[in-house]
Amino acid sequence: MSSRRRQVYEGKAKILYEGPEPGTLIQYFKDDATAFNAQKKGTINGKGVINNRISEHVFTRLAHIGIPTHFIRRLNMREQLVRQVEIIPIEVIVRNVAAGSLTKRLGIEEGEPLPHTLIEYCYKDDALGDPFVSEEEIACFNWASHEEMQDISSMAIRINDFMCGMFAAIGIRLIDFKIEFGRIWDGDFSRTILADEISPDGCRLWDIATGEKLDKDRFRRDLGGEEQAYQEVARRLGLLQDDNTPGEVFDMSAHRSRLRTSPKPKK
């Protein structure tokens, strides 16, 4: 990182810097880990490097199926060049299986498959704890237009369909995930595109065979093995093989011990 670059924003997991061209930003991935709206804080060694690679991979593949994204290219181990967007202040949560806050709010057993894919929305405000909001509230307070919400829900379903297949092919069950969208402007007209990141920080990923958690829930629940879990996802996606450039060598041999075994979720 250069100290001469102007920092635009710092979040819980990333820092944004001014990009080399107008309309671009440099997105830097940190090793910081937070949970429960930053009430729990820690570090997962190498998380930023792994998330940078995984997010690059997923965004590139989503672009191939026609999902517009802010991603331009990966610059180095921890940084990406992205398009500058006006972030829509809504977190979009896509759920396939009951887990996390859904189980607490509705008393559903964790691991229970949902009758159909569920899309939920949260208002992005750390001070308020990112509260759940309805589409009516989003429209009432003009956080996003009706047309933008149609685009967002349509893209969320397409992203979910694609990622369910992508992860299933490598023995991982996509339980749920969180995504964010932004606006890019062309004169008076805006376009909605996928922004932020997609990584084990914002996805729940369970091993299909064992139910093993391969995501940030290992940090949230003090399960241990966070580094190994993130690396396992990257390894299965083919991102920790012999294509590493100098300075990006990952020694998996030290991490081949089995992660702690969790009980297989009930069907």
Euclidean distance between CA atoms 258 and 245, whole angstroms: 27
H or E element in which residue 17 lies: strand 14-18
Residue 261 has pLDDT above 80, yes or no: no
Euclidean distance between CA atoms 236 and 228, whole angstroms: 12
pLDDT in tens, 218-258: 999 999 999 999 999 999 999 986 444 323 433 333 333 44
pTM: 0.88
User: What CATH number is given for 87-207 in this structure?
Assistant: 3.30.470.20
Q: How confident is the model at residue 27 (pLDDT cuts 50, 70, 90)?
A: very high
Residue with tokens 């402007």: 185
pLDDT at 37: 79
Q: How confident is the model at residue 5 (pLDDT cuts 50, 70, 90)?
A: confident
pLDDT at 240: 87
Q: How far is CA 234 from CA 68, 186, 240, 241, in A?
A: 23, 36, 6, 9
pLDDT at 248: 40
| φ, ψ at 17 (rounded to 5°) | -120, 160
Q: How confident is the model at residue 36 (pLDDT cuts 50, 70, 90)?
A: confident
Residue with tokens 């065979």: 209
Give mean pLDDT, residues 149-177: 98
233, two tokens: 């996802």
Give mean pLDDT, residues 176-191: 95
Which residues, other chains included, contact 100 with Cβ-Cβ below 8 Å and sequence gap of 6+? Answer: 176, 204, 217
Where b means 16+ CB within 10 Å and e means fewer, 125-146 reads eeeeebeebeeeebeeeebbee
For the chain, give every domain's residue range.
87-207
pLDDT at 255: 38
Give mean pLDDT, residues 66-82: 98
pLDDT at 3: 56
